[in-house]
Structure 1
């Protein structure tokens, strides 16, 4: 039997082995040396190059402050939204690989046809940033995210939302697509509401998504909140009543202003027709115009209480003085001043109750020009209210020296000068505060200003008592009555000038105070160019005052001051129940 042969042994070391190990060792040493070189000597240079490609300073978006009513109800808030932008350079590089269907979807989001959208991109060739669509709704934003197209990105933004929409539109205003105030209080207090954006250093991936937050450079500051003086409950009541009247009488426009007599805070302010500030397509200039602040009109007979106040202040008459208005007309400088009918001899109260043009004209001519106009200027006519509302008009009180008797007469019953509804409301608030004028405020006040006594308390009380007869039996404003409350006010129906002459169009007012025993609210209702058969202020504006005042006084928990009426009603109810 043959013995098995031992296999040939492999030597533990050979020349080739040592050569291979030497080469591998050299390679590892070279790699290590290279790594050390890159990590130590070239570290800053390479890090800089990497950061230049992936590290960016990113804006930290902040939102505007909230606008609130006096009770803390939100009137303007900011909601987070997504906007789409494109890196045109990146899209141009990868455009051949984009599916036609994806292009079509992106074009729809941009509200363009595919052909127009591609042309739009070509015109922006070389740009690294271009907006495609702003403030997307959640469904559209989700669709864009699903597309996941190269060069198409989304950014977080905020959009303004107005919960009360048309009801507060003219007062609050709105912001543009860049969230800057463009109308109303949004514009007036833009710096306060805007806040300041922040900035941080972040690292992005290839899809420009944030994968690392490296450093906070500047902290974002939220805009300050703004609390207004208006009561959204009263604003809603006034909106409904005024809109109903404007539609019913086919009027061109209207406005309503309500002021807290005790503080001079604005409780309600609106114009008609209104618009929805949440919709960009409804923001037409004709609709966004705030008539209460911007438009001025001849106030007509609502100015007569101021003429009477001037006469009482100057001492040329007393409340019991008699004025002969017969035969219901008088001729001045070749022009007639007329009343609706011959009222004969009236006391000063009767002049207001019957709204006698002849009566107030005679009162005006008993005074010097300075005495006559003093009350008009003292209550704020001729200057804006300093409310800060953008574009507020100061009206017009320009009278030439040595004016004629007819010009002076015209002013006495509300022609020949112009005021805004806000100015007229402020004037009546001065009467309601017994001659104290306080700065008008659109913001809720923590402390009420003392104000300035511009009319005597006695005269103010006398004029208020006279205006109460206007709403009573035989007066022109009987439809302004409010059950259980004593109301003082004045109607005004003024012809509007057209091409230098007075035409057949009217501006009608009702200005009033409630309750008479201790005035709390001053309100002006204005309706411009009513087109119905009823066009007198007593039929058009006075009912609006009654509706709004009645609900407001109950909301504010103001005790009824027409005690005898309430008591009689309660007795009648008791008898019926018995």
Structure 2
């Protein structure tokens, strides 16, 4: 030690000066005594210093040493995988890197080696496509100890940067969320931000469930940040949870492709589709157009990111007629065989008429040919509060139990006084607003013969118990009329599926604007299949088509046909329109069968 060497030299110098006077013997004795005396003092001082360091300053020294080599590292926060009902990955995390500069180490490295710092910054910026001017400015600011150059960097590029061995430049691990199905499931799954927190869709709704709770690990690191030894776990973390959806990606792919095609050829501003397994309440498919790619932030825009199936409302029009019919039958205000005058008539100065001429008809024919006049006459007989209450039991006017972010309740009128025109139009779906999801839920109740089951976006292991909201015999009579809408020459013939009995209802409603209604329409088809054993409910909404066609049967019916056909095939539903020899019945044979059923 330097202080000991200096002290020893001082002692020797002192002894030499002592030799200047006195006899030789006296000098020798004095020299020896002084030498051993000084040596004793030196050893005592050394022992005292060692004792001080060992016993009184040990804690402080160990702490300073640990500050240089020991680190408590927080484990990378992981995020669970999102699967479809068949185990296909819809969202998972992939390893990426973040490039960070420790400003002081970076500056010292270049100054000690007399290297061009700006050239290094330029090279890093070119590799990482970063802003050189901004990075240089941040590195010059004294308060910036760590400066992030780039995040979500490809691991191979990050490894190359690490191989350059530039002091102060570090590569840290991080994760990036990846969505293999891109825009097909964007509105359901949503996306995360750059820090891995959910900001849209189910990623946001189940954010805490999907995220892990990171643990803490104690490690020894060298001056370059390399791990020398793991000392153990300081805090245990919680593993991330996976999410299994009710969505069937096979159907989702067909549904999105079909909906997008028909929305574009009809020049629609937007479109939505919802498919429900009525037996379990599971949502098998939910798609919207337009959509966005959550893997590419450039395609993100608020109007594209909206899950229109749950956030957008519209007047459902004629798709409400079967529900009102069930309510009317349940209240006993009409019978299945009663014949109504369906010629145009006026209510409070406003004319109610049909798009298809019809002089008279019973409830079966009113639904088959979608008569506004017939339904208005039925509604005028009823207490409108009974209609509203009945629609509420089908799910209108309230959120579903799924609790989607931004889900709209729609609107049902609750008035003390009703005008006759308000009563009349309520019978054919005007004066109320609903979401496509609510319509799909209502038709799943019809498919279940009047039993309402809770909806689920997560896969269920066991079908939940339902609640009866309508009499089975009333619903079954209405189901017969819905089949005639498609296959009996009604308004929904374009929804027909070869080999299967299907039923449904068209809806064509004007778009409400300030002060009344505009010139645009919403075309809807809501249907059920197979009618021999109803299971699936599918709703298609085409909003504001501008290519010439706007009726629900024309713009939404073909979408229903294509998607429902694929659904029945994937779920191995056997065709039910078969002749005894196993061949499919022709349209003429099917019409004859329906006519025979009607007579009997």
User: What TM-score results when the alignment is normalised by the length of structure 2?
Assistant: 0.87
Asked whether 1:388 is paired with 2:410, we answer: no
> Which position in structure 1 is the counterpart of 2:205?
188
Aligned in 2, Cα 1:187/1:564: closer, same or farther, shift over 3 Å?
same
Q: Tell me the secondary structure at the aligned position of residue 191 of structure 1.
A: helix
Question: Residue deviations 1:142-197, cap 9 Å, x none?
Answer: 33213333222121111111111111111111111111111111111111001201
1:29 offset after TM fit, Å? Answer: 10
Aligned in 2, Cα 1:79/1:566: closer, same or farther, shift over 3 Å?
farther
Alpha-carbon distance in structure 2 between the residues aligned to 1:148 and 1:496:
64
1:352 offset after TM fit, Å? Answer: 0.7
1:259 offset after TM fit, Å? Answer: 0.3
Asked whether 1:60 is paired with 2:78, we answer: no
For the 8 Å contact 1:486–1:561, the answer to whether it is kept is: yes
1:364 offset after TM fit, Å? Answer: 0.4
> Which position in structure 2 is the counterpart of 1:490?
505
User: What TM-score results when the alignment is normalised by the length of structure 1?
Assistant: 0.90
> Which position in structure 2 is the counterpart of 1:88?
103
Alpha-carbon distance in structure 2 between the residues aligned to 1:127 and 1:199:
26
For the 8 Å contact 1:254–1:271, the answer to whether it is kept is: yes
Alpha-carbon distance in structure 1 between the residues aligned to 2:581 and 2:274:
28
Question: Residue deviations 1:62-112, cap 9 Å, x none?
Answer: 311111111111111111111122323444555654533311123345644
Aligned in 2, Cα 1:566/1:358: closer, same or farther, shift over 3 Å?
farther
1:116 offset after TM fit, Å? Answer: 2.6
- More moved, 25-34 vs 148-157: 25-34
Q: Select 1:99's aligned residue among 109, 117, 133.
A: 117
Aligned pairs for 1:191-202 (under 5 A) are 191-202=208-219
- More moved, 212-221 vs 525-534: 212-221
Question: Residue deviations 1:29-79, cap 9 Å, x none?
Answer: 988886676455543221111112332221101311111111111111111
Aligned pairs for 1:283-322 (under 5 A) are 283-322=300-339
Alpha-carbon distance in structure 1 between the residues aligned to 2:153 and 2:515:
51
- More moved, 388-397 vs 199-208: 199-208
> Which position in structure 2 is the counterpart of 1:272?
289
Aligned pairs for 1:151-170 (under 5 A) are 151-170=168-187
Q: Tell me the secondary structure at the aligned position of residue 151 of structure 2.
A: strand
For the 8 Å contact 1:91–1:150, the answer to whether it is kept is: yes
For the 8 Å contact 1:89–1:126, the answer to whether it is kept is: no
Aligned pairs for 1:349-364 (under 5 A) are 349-364=364-379
> Which position in structure 1 is the counterpart of 2:21?
none
- More moved, 197-206 vs 112-121: 112-121
Q: Tell me the secondary structure at the aligned position of residue 174 of structure 1.
A: coil
Alpha-carbon distance in structure 2 between the residues aligned to 1:483 and 1:571:
9
For the 8 Å contact 1:172–1:184, the answer to whether it is kept is: yes
Question: Residue deviations 1:280-313, cap 9 Å, x none?
Answer: 2222111111100111111111111111111111
1:493 offset after TM fit, Å? Answer: 1.1
Alpha-carbon distance in structure 1 between the residues aligned to 2:370 and 2:283:
28
1:500 offset after TM fit, Å? Answer: 2.2
Alpha-carbon distance in structure 1 between the residues aligned to 2:581 and 2:417:
53
Aligned in 2, Cα 1:538/1:284: closer, same or farther, shift over 3 Å?
same
Question: Residue deviations 1:319-355, cap 9 Å, x none?
Answer: 12111102xx111111111112430111101101111
> Which position in structure 2 is the counterpart of 1:430?
445
> Which position in structure 1 is the counterpart of 2:138?
120
Question: Residue deviations 1:527-550, cap 9 Å, x none?
Answer: 111121122111110000000011
For the 8 Å contact 1:321–1:347, the answer to whether it is kept is: yes
Q: Select 2:280's aligned residue among 256, 263, 274.
A: 263
Structure index of larger Rg: 2
> Which position in structure 1 is the counterpart of 2:527?
512
Alpha-carbon distance in structure 2 between the residues aligned to 1:380 and 1:100:
65
Alpha-carbon distance in structure 1 between the residues aligned to 2:434 and 2:360:
31
> Which position in structure 2 is the counterpart of 1:10?
none
Alpha-carbon distance in structure 2 between the residues aligned to 1:399 and 1:325:
28
- More moved, 128-137 vs 528-537: 128-137
* Unaligned stretches of 5+ residues in structure 2: 1-27, 588-600
Q: Tell me the secondary structure at the aligned position of residue 284 of structure 2.
A: strand
1:403 offset after TM fit, Å? Answer: 1.5
Aligned in 2, Cα 1:569/1:112: closer, same or farther, shift over 3 Å?
closer
> Which position in structure 1 is the counterpart of 2:230?
213
1:279 offset after TM fit, Å? Answer: 1.4
Alpha-carbon distance in structure 1 between the residues aligned to 2:229 and 2:236:
17
Asked whether 1:252 is paired with 2:269, we answer: yes
Q: Tell me the secondary structure at the aligned position of residue 105 of structure 1.
A: helix
Question: Residue deviations 1:196-229, cap 9 Å, x none?
Answer: 0111122222222322222311123221111111
Aligned in 2, Cα 1:100/1:472: closer, same or farther, shift over 3 Å?
same
Alpha-carbon distance in structure 1 between the residues aligned to 2:39 and 2:89:
75
Alpha-carbon distance in structure 2 between the residues aligned to 1:324 and 1:190:
57
Aligned pairs for 1:339-418 (under 5 A) are 339-418=354-433
Asked whether 1:173 is paired with 2:190, we answer: yes
Q: Tell me the secondary structure at the aligned position of residue 233 of structure 1.
A: helix
Alpha-carbon distance in structure 2 between the residues aligned to 1:264 and 1:565:
34
Aligned in 2, Cα 1:217/1:358: closer, same or farther, shift over 3 Å?
same
> Which position in structure 2 is the counterpart of 1:476?
491
Aligned in 2, Cα 1:203/1:105: closer, same or farther, shift over 3 Å?
same
For the 8 Å contact 1:310–1:375, the answer to whether it is kept is: yes
- More moved, 42-51 vs 423-432: 42-51
For the 8 Å contact 2:388–2:412, the answer to whether it is kept is: no
Alpha-carbon distance in structure 2 between the residues aligned to 1:53 and 1:354:
84
1:120 offset after TM fit, Å? Answer: 3.1
For the 8 Å contact 1:102–1:147, the answer to whether it is kept is: no
> Which position in structure 2 is the counterpart of 1:447?
462
Aligned in 2, Cα 1:523/1:43: closer, same or farther, shift over 3 Å?
same
